[in-house]
Amino acid sequence: MPWCKAEGMGDLWEGEMRSCKVEGNPVLLLKQAGRVHAYADRCAHQAVPMSEGRFRDGVLTCRAHEYAYDAATGAGINPGNVRLRAYATKSEAGEIWVDTTRAP
């Protein structure tokens, strides 16, 4: 059963990010350019929740030590040699579904 509904996330706004649990896993959801992206809610540096950071102008920034990531891909911007773990998403019937076993 890989696809799981991200409960209560169907109303995610453009430019918004929120955290939720999917099958017990902390997941960060964000919407950018009309697309929903999902990531494991942990920074690649020291695992601080990315949902406690900032999402602005397409960049996710960790609150702890300012690691910055491309919000559309999870690729590190500064530093460039890190990456957030990305999950596949889909929208159906006004709900967001996440597969934490599959990359986008």
Binding site for ligand FES (CB under 6 A): 43, 45-46, 48, 62, 64-65, 67
Give CA separation, 50 vs 1, 60, 65, in Å.
26, 8, 11
Of 8 and 79, which CB lies nearer to ligand FES in the complex structure? 79
Task: Respond yes or no on whether the N-terminal peptide bond of residue 79 is cis (omega within 30° of 0).
Answer: yes
Question: Considering the complex, what minimum distance in angstroms separates the CB of residue 68 from ligand FES?
Answer: 9
Nearer to ligand FES, 28 or 43 (CB): 43
Q: Which is nearer to ligand FES, 21 or 65 (CB)?
A: 65
What are the backbone angles phi and psi of residue 13, rounded to the nearest 5°? -90, 155
Which tokens go with 104? 């986008």
Q: Please report how close the Cβ of residue 11 comes to ligand FES at its closest, in angstroms.
A: 28
Shortest distance, position 53 Cβ to ligand FES, whole Å? 8
Which C-beta is closer to ligand FES: that of 32 or that of 51?
Answer: 51
- The CB density around residue 95, as the number of other CB atoms within 10 Å, is 14
Least CB distance to ligand FES at residue 78 (A): 10
Task: Give the pairing of strands 35-40 and 54-56.
Answer: unpaired
